[in-house]
Each structure stands twice: as structure tokens, then as C-alpha cells.
Chains A and B, each alone.
Chain A
Amino acid sequence: MADEVILLDFWPSPFGLRARIAMAEKGVEYDYRDENLREKGPLLLKSNPVHKKIPVLIHNGKPVCESLIIVQYIDEVWNDKPLFSKDPYETAKARFWADFVDKKIYDCGTRIWKNKGEAQDQAKKEFIDCLKLLEGELAEKSYFGGDTLGYVDVALIPFACWFYSYETEGKFSIEEDCPKIMAWVKRCMEKESVSKTLAEPQKVYEFVGVLKKMYGIE
């Protein structure tokens, strides 16, 4: 029986992008559904009653919520091209750093475009500090997963299409402070699963403009 896979998502969401990239890597066919977050549809509300958020992966009628949990689920169900190492210690490190991305990158990035002045400077500094720590973890590897995309790559690369927005709003260059991360982004973009999936940075930037209007930010 054919699998039915639906992804409830929102096109610029870095969290939704994680699920899309994981499925692109694994060659999973799915029905992508863009949600109107200001008027959430009944399927979303039914599938994620606790948080009412995207992304939600619905596999043969069963919903899985929370992006990193979805990515792990995808990895466990479609288990060729594994995103994790066989070594439990390497896997633990990957979980640690993906959790770090979750705790820090979205928050700092959002604070960059939502703020000005000192608050923005603080956010920029923290953002760069976090990327530098990630550079340390990447070290001399091509990807966080080694020779191929792994869990941390999937967790982090979606934010790359938001870098242009952070840089433009914050008037700084990520390349200047974190060249290794930008080199890593370039390598990821050589993969179709990434380049064909990521949202266009210019479109994301236009979307940030819309958000700023909505929040009454100048």
C-alpha cells in the first residue's frame, strides 16, 4: 500500500524547511500544503491541537509535530541515507548541537530584525558567537555529518535563506565573521536536496518586510 505523506508547512519557515530537506535527501514523496497562519485550517488544528503550529508531518493519517522530532521520525522510517552516525557518542553530539541551533539561532536571528540600536547589536553579537561555536564543531569536516549531510546540517541549513535578511537588517556580513559557515553553506547548496528546497533569500527578505509592518516595526 502506498504511503500517504502530507506536510503542513509555511514556505519561509526554517522549521518546515528541515522536514522538506530531510525528505528531499531521502527521496520521500509528499503532499506539501502551505498553511495560512493567520487563519489556521481544520487539519492543522486537529493534527497539532497542543501547539497549533507548523510543521506537522502526517504519515498515513498519524501526525508528528515539532521539526526536529519530525526529522528524526523521517530518518527512522525511511532509513537509507541515515542522518545519524552508528556511533552513539557521535549521535549524542549531533543531538546536542541540533538542540543548540534550536535554542539559539532562531531567537538571535529574530531579535536582529525585530530590534534596532543596542538590542540589535546585542543580538548580532550573540548570533555571531553561536555561529563561531558551530564553526568549532564543524572543524575540518565538509558537513556536520562528515562526508554527507547529517542531522545538524539539516537542523541548521534552513536558516541560510534567512541570512540575507539578518545581514541586511543588521547591516553586517556573516561571511566576514564566520567564513567557515558560509563555505559550509556553499557546499550544502551544491546538493539538490538543499538548493531546490530552500526558499529564495530575496523572497524571505520581502516577507520580513511584511512581518515588520504587521508588528509595527520600522
Chain B
Amino acid sequence: MAGEGVKLFGMWASPYVLRVIWALKLKGIEYEYIEEDLSNKSPLLLQYNSVYKKVPVLVYGQKPVAESLVIIEFIDEMWKHNPILPEDPYERAMARFWAKFVEEKFIPAIFGTFSKLGEEQEKFMEEAKKNLRILEEGLQGKKFFGGETIGFVDVVGGWIAYWVPVIEEIIGIKIVEEESLPLINKWFKDILDFNIVKESLPPRDKLVALQKVYREMLLGSSA
């Protein structure tokens, strides 16, 4: 499907960028992908996202949109087929609620398990597990948050299915145990099995290597 002049400024290991890629793929929109070196950001990126200077930025017809959640809603409004958000206002509010929960509660917790050690790490670990248990309730026994196919919350949170095992491998501690989080476990499997997800994940060994370096930086800087 033609999305003439759709450009995506991204970085291969960013889960925020991956969200936008999934949204574009769900709609079958063709786009030009521009890989950014985050240590040497392009003048175009700095111009398109002068407020935060971050990826992802979607540019459509020369007009930039920044912030992954804003971008996904833009994509959903611009291209109305294969809707990502539900139609019913209450269901939309619930989808936005769970997306915000992933952003504001889960991400800081999982980041803490990755960037801290000892007692502090344990605290964040418990917080991450608690948040996943709450997220499980939001799933309400459905296959995906979107029902039979992936929807807004799956697009916003699905990266967790790929990143958590990577984090577990690097920190050497299991966060998501099958017995304590069976529905989340199943959701992870279903997400990773979904066609557009499978074909767009960053290579695991490269991701692990990068996250290891990143972790050393984080641990080193807090010493």
C-alpha cells in the first residue's frame, strides 16, 4: 500500500522504534527506514524532533511526528483500514490506559532490574513482577490485548516478550516464571509467533551484545 513519502528515523535496537514498525506493517504501509547513529544524530533528526532529539520520528509528506505512542495513533488515524485502536470509546480508553501503564510503570521497573544490583535490583524485580501480574489482569484471558489479533497495547508492550528473556540472560535472574505468570508467558509466546513480529525483531546475538555493553556503562556510572 502506498504511503508515499513515509520515512521512519530509527535505531535497530530500540523497542520504541519497533512499535512504530509493527504499526506500519499492520497497515501494510511502505516506508523508507533511516538508521540513526545515536552518538552522532543527523541534522535532519535534530530538526524533526527538536524537543527531545530522539527516535522514532515518522515523517509523512515532510511533516514530522515524534513520540512512539503519538506516532501509532497518527498512523491509525491516517490509514483507517486494519484499525489498531478499538472503535468503542470505552475500549479505546482501556487500551490507552494499559499502554500508559506499560510506559510509566513497567519500563522504569524493568530498567531498574537491568541497571541496578543487590537490594535495589531486588526491589525493581518485585515491582516488575507485580506490574506484569497487573498487566495479566488487563489481558482478561484474551489471546492478545486486541483480541484475536494484535492491537494497540500489544503493539506498545509486545517488545517485552523479546526483551525480557534477553535481560534475564544478561542479569542471570529469571523474571517471568511460567508458574507465577502463566498468562503473560502465553502472551509472550503468541506475540513472538505473530507474523509481522517474527519478521521484524532485531537479531538476538547483536542485541545481547549491545545490552551487555550498555549495562556495563550503567553499572559503571553508578559506582
Partners in one complex: yes
A177 to chain B, nearest CB (A): 19
B36 beta carbon closer than 8 Å to chain A = no
Count chain A CB atoms within 10 A of each CB in B65, B66, B97 and give the residue with the most. B97
Q: Give B residues with C-beta under 8 Å from A.
A: 51, 60, 63, 65-67, 69-71, 73-74, 77-78, 89-90, 92-93, 96-97, 100-101, 134
Seed contacts A64-B90, A91-B73; 8 additional CB < 8 Å A-B pairs: A62-B90, A64-B93, A64-B97, A72-B92, A88-B74, A89-B65, A99-B69, A100-B51
C-alpha gap A91/B73 in the complex (Å) = 9
Q: Count the A residues whose beta carbon is within 8 Å of the partner chain — how many?
A: 22
B interface SS class = helix
A134 to chain B, nearest CB (A): 10
Known: A96-B65, A99-B67, A100-B51. A73 touches B73 (CB 8 A): no
B65 touching A66 by the CB < 8 A rule?
no
A197 to chain B, nearest CB (A): 22
A77 touching B89 by the CB < 8 A rule?
yes
C-alpha gap A59/B101 in the complex (Å) = 21
A96 touching B77 by the CB < 8 A rule?
no
A210 beta carbon closer than 8 Å to chain B = no
Per-residue 0/1 for A89-101: is the Cβ within 8 Å of any B Cβ (1 yes, 0 no)? 1011101100110
Partner of B97, one of A69, A76, A88, A89: A69
A76 touching B89 by the CB < 8 A rule?
yes
Residues of B within 8 A of A50 (CB): 101, 134
A66 to chain B, nearest CB (A): 6
Residues of A within 8 A of B96 (CB): 66, 69, 72
A interface SS class = helix
Residues of chain A in range 21-69 having any CB-CB distance to chain B below 8 Å: 50, 59, 62, 64-66, 69
Residues of chain A in range 123-175 having any CB-CB distance to chain B below 8 Å: 133
C-alpha gap A50/B102 in the complex (Å) = 12
For A130, the closest partner residue in chain B by CB is B51
C-alpha gap A81/B73 in the complex (Å) = 21
A88 touching B78 by the CB < 8 A rule?
yes
Residues of A within 8 A of B71 (CB): 92
C-alpha gap A133/B51 in the complex (Å) = 8
B93 touching A89 by the CB < 8 A rule?
no
Residues of A within 8 A of B74 (CB): 88-89, 91-92, 95
A62 to chain B, nearest CB (A): 6
For B78, the closest partner residue in chain A by CB is A88
C-alpha gap A66/B96 in the complex (Å) = 9
Q: What are 20 of the A-B contact pairs (CB < 8 Å)?
A: A50-B101, A64-B97, A65-B97, A69-B93, A69-B100, A76-B92, A88-B74, A88-B77, A88-B78, A89-B74, A92-B65, A92-B70, A93-B65, A95-B69, A95-B73, A95-B74, A96-B67, A96-B70, A99-B69, A133-B51
B102 to chain A, nearest CB (A): 12
C-alpha gap A50/B131 in the complex (Å) = 9
Partner of B66, one of A64, A73, A91, A96: A96
A209 to chain B, nearest CB (A): 29
C-alpha gap A195/B71 in the complex (Å) = 34
B93 touching A73 by the CB < 8 A rule?
yes
C-alpha gap A70/B92 in the complex (Å) = 11
C-alpha gap A69/B93 in the complex (Å) = 6
C-alpha gap A59/B93 in the complex (Å) = 12
For A95, the closest partner residue in chain B by CB is B70
A91 touching B77 by the CB < 8 A rule?
yes
A93 to chain B, nearest CB (A): 8
Residues of B within 8 A of A77 (CB): 89
Residues of A within 8 A of B60 (CB): 89
C-alpha gap A197/B101 in the complex (Å) = 29
